[in-house]
Structures are given as structure tokens and as C-alpha cells.
Amino acid sequence: MSTIWDVAGREVDAGFFGTFEPAEVLIDIDGPRLFVARTVDGDDLLVYQVAEAEGRYGWIVVPTEARSIERVREGEVALLDALRQPWVWIVTQSFAGALEGARRVRFDDLPPASLPADGVTVVDAVQPFLAVRAKGPTLTSRDVPASVVRKVVDGAMHAMKALIEHALEMSPPEGRPSDRLRRYYDLPTQRLAFGSFEAVFGEPVAPNEQPLLSSEKLALDRAGMLLRRGIAALQQEVVGGDGAEIDPELGVALDALSGLLPPASGAVEEMQIGGRLVGDSSVRLSREHGVRARKYMRRMRPAVEALVVQGLVRELDKDAMTFIVRSADLTQEWPCRFSSAQRDDVFTAFAEDTPVAVSGHRRAGKPQVEVLAIEVV
Amino acid sequence: MRAAGWTLTVSVRERERWPLRRGGACPARPTIGSLSTVCVLCYGRRVVSDSVRTAQSFPGDWPEGCPPGEAAPCAGDYYRIVRGELVTSEDLRSHRELGKLPSAPPCLRAGLSTFRTLDDAERMALLFPVLGGFVARGALNDDYGVSMLTPGRQPSHTTVWPYEQTHRAEPFRQVSSVRRSS
């Protein structure tokens, strides 16, 4: 088995690394294991202990800068990702502290078993709002199809939209929901990680913004509870029990989860979802969970009506992302809810006052049409 | 607590645990030995027997003020990253004993890094395969030595300073493997 000492490389002058004294120790376990050092020119280096044998240390050294160090320190980036560069230096140092040599090697030549485990950070970053990871044997750091990236991002957006809309219906906010509610559907992305694919989303409200209104907090809490209810239901062999009764709220939860479940075939075999919205620990969702959810959704389907309505967009609420279509003779009207993807089409139809055909679906007992498409007729 | 020469300074809490007993063995610390006249620890700083001094002393060549006065007797579970399923004394040697990094902080070099939570220890084992792929749990008490939280970026990182006569590996019997996911 190859070791770090055997990795072929080009010798370089160890004098470049200066005193190799830690300027900042990031991890100390019986001595520094990860630290920042400075070159003779004062540039920052990230130094990681990779080996130890026969009276000497082996260090991986990579160039770095303040922001990258901050991201390692705060757990925003996995240590392996911080070290991963096309080439790195291996510096050998005696136990007494003297530098014995340095060579430049290709990162890909380093034995993986000597490196930090994939995805592990120095500390737990502040728990994200929502984290979604797609896993599968063929999903490696260099081979993540765009369709997988889209599934993760679309799945998260769809889940948030379904959950928040339901939560707001259950407890409408006093006055109009603020414009920033839209961010629930379009959460700020904090991090993307490859080698499996993970997207991590932050809070919908940035720290320097006005805090959430109590009604917004309530909606968010309800959304989380609903999501957890859906996850708990999927742990049962028969979702919702053996009874024929359909629970509309469970249907909303499973609809929200539908984009976060692994498809029956393809590269993604498992999805992991975590973050504050999900609870204390992340949850693994398998294809079996997907089968269970789809089975329940099929039972629900008759309760959903597909329809196409025609008319003019006469009222538009940009904040609530709703509009009203009125028929040309003003005898009928349909309240509709749209997503951010349809925003431009809706705004144009409203501004130009042109007749449109709106296709979508409506749940039994609900007046609102969930818009799938809007076209000028 | 620190043994130095013939005197032993103890904290108020320690004194409470070791009640006054004239001329006999202290019931709270039966393994340490008899006291010379009275269980003087109850009064603070007094003379103690040679056996006490030997059992609970630190190496004489450690730096002045080491372990720090803030260190407290070991108590509870401690987790140490080790290289194999059978923990040996080699897994519990300090940088000072191994002659490593002589310019590092001298008192920390004399101690052993442990963690108070399994999660912290496993995270570090995953980050640094060089340390070993196993985590050993040791239930330590005040016979083992003293310890102090030295967290840095690892919230439960704790330095343990074992007494000179402590069998260091003995309590670390429960070992689990740290698995790297593919």
C-alpha cells in the first residue's frame, strides 16, 4: 500500500516555508495538527498533518488566504475540499522541528486513506435551515449530472413552496405577507458540495434584516412540523395506516417531500435531508420511501382537479404571489397562486392586460388554482 | 490539585469529599494509603504520608505550574483517539515523552489530548487518519490524574495530566472503530 512518503514529486527548496511556526493553530490534538503558517514572503499556508513515522512528520501544505481560512475555521467548507488543489507540497519535519525537505506532488496521487474524510468539517457550522444531499454509487466529486443538481434544488424549492403555502393558509398573516416571504421558496444557497451532491440553504431572512414577524415565525414552525409529519409517515410500511381515509394535510406533506425522494431509477439512490427545518438529525430517504409516498399520492389524486381557465389577470398581489383571473364577461373569477418561475409571465399578462389561458390544478375544497403554466391566447 | 514535595494542596470540594479521620486510612481514598497523623486534607495544606505523595505526584521534571491550578481531578468519561482495538501505553504517550515539538507550550506537551464527547473524538479521527481509526472510552476518576477543558475549536477537547504511577491504558477498554463513509 502506498504511503505519503512514497508519493512521487519534485523537490523544492524548504527555505520557502520560512520558520514553519504556526501563526494560528486551527486544531491541536497533542500538538498542532492543522495550522496556518507563513512563507518567507509572508503569504498564508494551510498546513495539515498527514503522516508521522520514524521521528518525522509529514505535512500537506497548500497556499491559502484569510477568507479561505475563515471558512475552514467556521466549518463552512470541508477540510478535504480546502486541501484539494491540483498540486500541493509535502513538507517533512523532524520531531524536533527542523524542516528536512519539501516536494511538490499531485493531489490525486496522495493516498485517500491518509486524507480527511469526505465532507467532514473542522467544526459543525451553524445548523443550516435546510440541507439536501443526493447519494448514489456513481455520484462522485467529478461526475454529478446536471439533472441531479436540478433535482436537489428544485426539490428543495418545491418543498418550501408547498409547506409555506399550506402553513399560511392555515394561519393567514395579519396584513399582507412581506415581500421576503418569497425567499422561503428561493432560499439563499450557502454551500454546494460534490462527491454525492449536497445543497445547503440558509435562513430566509438575513441577520441584518428586520426579524420575522410572529405570523411568519408561526408559518415557518408549522411548515417544519408538517415536513416532519410527512417524514414520520414515510417510516411506516403503509403510509397513513390501512384505513381508506385520506388525510389532506398528510397529502400536502408528502407532496412537499415528493421532490426530495429518490426516483425509482437513475443515479440517485438515496436522499438525505437535514437542517433546522427537519429537526435534530438528518433523515435518509430511500427508494422504498419514494414508493410508499407515491402510493399514497395515487390514492389522493382524485381529490385534485386539473383545469384550464381563460380570462384577464385583473388583480395581482406581488407579495403573496397570487392573482385573480376574470372571464371576459366578468361572470366568473378564479384565484390563482403562482411560483417564482412564472413571475415574469404573470407580471407581463397583468401589465399588458392581455387575455391568457391559465392551466393548473385545484385541490378538492380549495378555491385556489395552483398554476402550472400561463400563456397568452 | 498538585502534589509537591511533602505538601498537598486541595480544593474545598476535595476536602469535603475526604472527611476528617484521625490516625487511620481515609475511607474516601482507600487505595492511596494511610495518613501520617490526621486526615489533614480537611484542613487544607498539611503534611501527608509518603505513600500519598508517591501515588499522586506528577513527574518532577515537569514545568513549574504544571498541571495548571485550574485543572481538576479526572471524573467521568474521556475519549481518546487510538490506533488499534487494543489500547496500549503507546497510545497514551505525551509529546513531551516522545520528544516531539519542543517549542510547543510546555505544559500542554506534558498532557494527553482527550475529548469529553464521542462525537468530537470521531470527528477528529475522521479528519486526521494519522491519529488512528479508533476511539477508546475511559471512565476516569481522581486516581488517574487531573484534567482541564482546553477547547480551542473542539468544544470538548480536554487535556489530561496522569499521575506518574497511573496505568494509563487500563481504563480505556471500550474501543470503537471510526468508519469513513464512501
pLDDT digits (tens, 9 = 90+) for A101-135: 999 999 999 999 999 998 888 887 666 778 888 88
**Alpha-carbon gap, residue A96 to A84, rounded angstroms:** 28
Q: What is the pLDDT of residue B140?
A: 95
**Alpha-carbon gap, residue A58 to A110, rounded angstroms:** 12
Structure confidence at residue B84 as a pLDDT band (50, 70, 90): very high
- A244-274 per-position pLDDT tens digit: 577 878 888 888 898 899 888 888 888 988 8
Overall residue count recorded for chain B in this entry: 182
Which value does ipTM take for this structure?
0.72
Shared domain for A226 and A273, answered yes or no, is yes
Question: Is A123 inside any structural domain?
Answer: no
Which grid coordinates belong to A226? 408538517
Question: Is A102 inside any structural domain?
Answer: yes
Q: What is the pLDDT of residue A266?
A: 82
Q: What is the pLDDT of residue A126?
A: 62
Which grid coordinates belong to A70? 475563515
Shared domain for A288 and A202, answered yes or no, is yes
Domain coverage including residue B168 = 72-177
What average pLDDT does range A50-79 have in this prediction?
Answer: 91
Shared domain for B51 and B76, answered yes or no, is no
Contact B131 A118 (CB under 8 A): no
Tell me which of B153, B156, B157, B159 to substitute to probe the interface with A (most A C-beta atoms closer than 10 Å).
B153
**Alpha-carbon gap, residue A19 to A97, rounded angstroms:** 9
What average pLDDT does range A36-50 have in this prediction?
Answer: 94
Shared domain for A333 and A261, answered yes or no, is no
Question: Is B85 inside any structural domain?
Answer: yes
Shared domain for B116 and B162, answered yes or no, is yes
Taking 90 as the threshold, does the pLDDT of residue B83 lie above it? yes
Shared domain for A265 and A227, answered yes or no, is yes
Task: Assess contact for A360 and A371: CB atoms under 8 A.
Answer: yes
Question: Is B151 inside any structural domain?
Answer: yes
Structure confidence at residue B154 as a pLDDT band (50, 70, 90): confident
B25 vs B93 pLDDT, higher one: B93
Shared domain for A139 and A257, answered yes or no, is yes
Shared domain for A198 and A314, answered yes or no, is no
B30 vs B69 pLDDT, higher one: B69
Where b means 16+ CB within 10 Å and e means fewer, A99-128 reads beebbebeeeebeeebbbbbbbbbbeeeeb
What average pLDDT does range A85-114 have in this prediction?
Answer: 93
Look at A91-100, A362-371, B27-36 and tell me which has the smallest mean pLDDT.
Answer: B27-36
Look at A188-202, B19-33, B82-96, B135-149 and tell me which has the smallest mean pLDDT.
Answer: B19-33
What average pLDDT does range B12-19 have in this prediction?
Answer: 39
Contacts of A176 (CB under 8 A, 6+ apart): A317, A319, A320
Shared domain for A215 and A346, answered yes or no, is no
**B81, closest residue in chain A (CA to CA):** A29
Structure confidence at residue B147 as a pLDDT band (50, 70, 90): very high
Name A323's bridge partners.
A316, A336
Taking 70 as the threshold, does the pLDDT of residue B53 lie above it? no
Look at A203-212, B74-83, B135-144 and tell me which has the smallest mean pLDDT.
Answer: A203-212
Cell numbers 491550578 correspond to: B69
Q: Choose the closest CB to A79 out of B103, B127, B181.
A: B127
Which grid coordinates belong to B121? 473524538
Where among A80, A114, A148 does a domain terminate? A114
Structure confidence at residue B2 as a pLDDT band (50, 70, 90): very low
| Bridging pattern class, strands A333-337 and A369-376 | parallel
**Strand intervals (E) in A24-96:** 24-28, 32-38, 44-53, 56-63, 87-94
A243 vs B139 pLDDT, higher one: B139
Tell me which of A27, A29, A141 to substitute to probe the interface with B (most B C-beta atoms closer than 10 Å).
A29
Taking 60 as the threshold, does the pLDDT of residue B33 lie above it? no
Shared domain for B100 and B152, answered yes or no, is yes
Q: What is the pLDDT of residue A184?
A: 67
Domain coverage including residue A84 = 4-114
Shared domain for A199 and A286, answered yes or no, is yes
Give the minimum alpha-carbon distance from B152 to chain A in angstroms, rounded to a whole number: 7
Taking 60 as the threshold, does the pLDDT of residue B15 lie above it? no
Tell me which of B80, B96, B130 to substitute to probe the interface with A (most A C-beta atoms closer than 10 Å).
B130
Domain count, chain A: 3
Taking 90 as the threshold, does the pLDDT of residue A217 lie above it? no
Contact B99 A96 (CB under 8 A): yes
Taking 50 as the threshold, does the pLDDT of residue A53 lie above it? yes
Q: What is the pLDDT of residue A302?
A: 61
Shared domain for A290 and A310, answered yes or no, is no
User: Taking all residues of chain A, what is their mean pLDDT, rounded to a whole number?
Assistant: 83
Percent of chain A with pLDDT over 90: 32
Count of alpha carbons within 13 angstroms of residue B89, beta-carbon side: 8
A242: how many CB neighbours lie within 10 A of its CB?
A: 7
Contact A114 B129 (CB under 8 A): yes
What average pLDDT does range B112-119 have in this prediction?
Answer: 92
**Alpha-carbon gap, residue B48 to B33, rounded angstroms:** 10
Q: What is the pLDDT of residue B44?
A: 35
B130 vs B11 pLDDT, higher one: B130
Taking 50 as the threshold, does the pLDDT of residue B162 lie above it? yes
Contact B124 A27 (CB under 8 A): yes
Which grid coordinates belong to A60? 500537506
Percent of chain B with pLDDT over 70: 69
Q: Choose the closest CB to B95 out of A27, A30, A119.
A: A30
Give the minimum alpha-carbon distance from B99 to chain A in angstroms, rounded to a whole number: 7
Where among A252, A275, A302 does a domain terminate? A302
Which residues from chain A sit within 8 angstroms of residue B94, using beta carbons? 30
Shared domain for A298 and A255, answered yes or no, is yes
- A154-182 per-position pLDDT tens digit: 888 888 878 877 777 665 554 455 555 56
Q: What is the pLDDT of residue B31?
A: 35
Shared domain for A258 and A323, answered yes or no, is no
Q: What is the pLDDT of residue A4?
A: 83
Where among A302, A319, A345 does a domain terminate? A302
**Alpha-carbon gap, residue B116 to B148, rounded angstroms:** 11
Shared domain for A260 and A324, answered yes or no, is no
